[in-house]
Amino acid sequence: MSIFTIVAGARPNFMKIAPIIHAFQNQQKAGVDVQFRLVHTGQHYDKKMSGDFFDQLNIPEPNANLGGGGGTQAEQTAAIMVAFEKELMEHRPDLVIVVGDVTSTLACSIAAKKLQIDVAHVEGGIRSGDLSMPEEINRMVTDSITDHFFTTSEIANANLRKAGVSEEKIHFVGNTMIDTLMDQMPNFRKPEGEIFENLTPGNYFVMTMHRPANVDQEQSLKAMIDAILEGTGGLPIFFPVHPRTAKNLQNLGIQAPNLHLCEPLGYLEFNYLVKNAKGVITDSGGVTEETSVMNVPCVTLRNNTERAETIHMGTNELVGTDPKKLKPYLEKIMKGEWKQYQGIPLWDGKTAQRIVDILIKTYD
């Protein structure tokens, strides 16, 4: 019998692990002798950034919660490593599955590999080349010790080949975040609350911002929001505010009648808003994948991306972090002249099944 430990720690992880867990559960129901343990590192611990996703995405209660939230990058990495090493010594699996690019991904892959346990990285191989982002460091370190790379794009495959990774370790399977999106689309629902009551589909914008480059300096955050307000012609803008962004935004006290701030939304509510939006303005990575598949115009407030396929084949455009560059992009969205989603290979809702089939075969 094979035993797999699945790690999740922060918001963008939960959408990526849900379909993998469901695929394992399906195998178990079909009589395959396989076991998994779900470990929550506790990196994101509040209800809005974690608990709600377990309910909405049918993720079972974790078998262990490491309580590794809070503190600096190093404190968090260290706390998760110490707790995860203990977890692995008590419940040694055949393989640890990490997803994405958060601190937990890095910490848990190192702890596993040092105990000579194999590591699979779901969403391996993507690169922005921007070492000022902690996520890029997490990707590079994780991929340097990964045994099985489950990749989302040909670009990721090429990056891995260039780094000398041998072909048999690269499994081009698609995107588990899109599995979740396709699975949950029939359940999307309008968020509750007064600000959402009169929203007209196709006639509002959604924005999210949480990258340090955009939100840590109050004045640049203000300049960007001013540029967004100017370019969106008075249409309602819904802005679920990430905890990282909340304090500076509050200090700025920006108010505009059409700018509607709210707490982070549940997955079903957030993607209801995105699906029906005129456009999305974001610095998130995952959101650019979801907007692409839902064919919703998306502008990314970053100078680079590790998901170039969302630009080449999706609906994403890279605007950068200079507010002055935003105007022509918003004009295009306002005029309805945006590019259409072309389809991205293997983003078909069946990725998790492919991953689990490969793992069960490999660790039989």
- Tell me the catalytic residues: 210
Q: How far is the CB of 292 from ligand UDP (least distance, A)?
A: 12
Shorter beta-carbon distance to ligand UDP: residue 287 or 326: 287
Q: Taking contact as CB under 6 A, which single stretch among the options 72-80, 89-97, 154-162, 264-272 is the one that binds ligand UDP?
A: 264-272
Q: How far is the CB of 69 from ligand UDP (least distance, A)?
A: 15
Which of 4, 238, 239, 267: binder of ligand UDP (CB under 6 A)?
Answer: 267
Q: How far is the CB of 284 from ligand UDP (least distance, A)?
A: 3
Q: How far is the CB of 266 from ligand UDP (least distance, A)?
A: 6
Q: For residue 178, state whether it binds ligand UDP (rule: CB under 6 A).
A: no
Q: For residue 265, state whether it binds ligand UDP (rule: CB under 6 A).
A: yes
Q: For residue 107, state whether it binds ligand UDP (rule: CB under 6 A).
A: no
Q: For residue 93, state whether it binds ligand UDP (rule: CB under 6 A).
A: no
Shorter beta-carbon distance to ligand UDP: residue 87 or 283: 283
Span 113-172, contacts to ligand UDP by CB under 6 A = none
Site track 273-312 with ligand UDP (rule: CB under 6 A), x = hit = -----------xxxx--x----------------------
Q: How far is the CB of 13 from ligand UDP (least distance, A)?
A: 9
Q: How far is the CB of 239 from ligand UDP (least distance, A)?
A: 9
Which H, E and C letters describe the chain, residue by residue? CEEEEEEECCHHHHHHHHHHHHHHHHHHHCCCCEEEEEEECCCCCCHHHHHHHHHHCCCCCCCEECCCCCCCHHHHHHHHHHHHHHHHHHCCCCEEEEECCCHHHHHHHHHHHHCCCEEEEECCCCCCCCCCCHHHHHHHHHHHCCCEEEECCHHHHHHHHHCCCCHHHEEECCCHHHHHHHHHHHHCCCCCCHHHCCCCCCCCEEEECCCHHHHCCHHHHHHHHHHHHHHCCCCCEEEECCHHHHHHHHHHCCCCCCEEEECCCCHHHHHHHHHCCCEEEECCCHHHHHHHHCCCCEEECCCCCCCCHHHHCCCEEECCCCHHHCHHHHHHHHCCCCCCCCCCCCCCCCHHHHHHHHHHHHCC
Burial per residue of 159-197, b for 16 or more beta-carbon CB atoms within 10 angstroms, e otherwise:
bbeeeebeeeebbbbbbbbbbbbebbeeebeebeeeebe
Q: Are 36 and 4 in contact (CB under 8 A)?
A: yes
Q: For residue 15, state whether it binds ligand UDP (rule: CB under 6 A).
A: yes
Shorter beta-carbon distance to ligand UDP: residue 171 or 307: 307
Q: Taking contact as CB under 6 A, which single stretch among the options 65-73, 136-144, 261-269, 310-318 is the one that binds ligand UDP?
A: 261-269
Site track 203-242 with ligand UDP (rule: CB under 6 A), x = hit = -----x-------------------------------x--
Shorter beta-carbon distance to ligand UDP: residue 100 or 231: 100
Which residues contact ligand UDP (rule: CB under 6 A)?
11-12, 15, 208, 240, 264-265, 267, 270-271, 284-287, 290
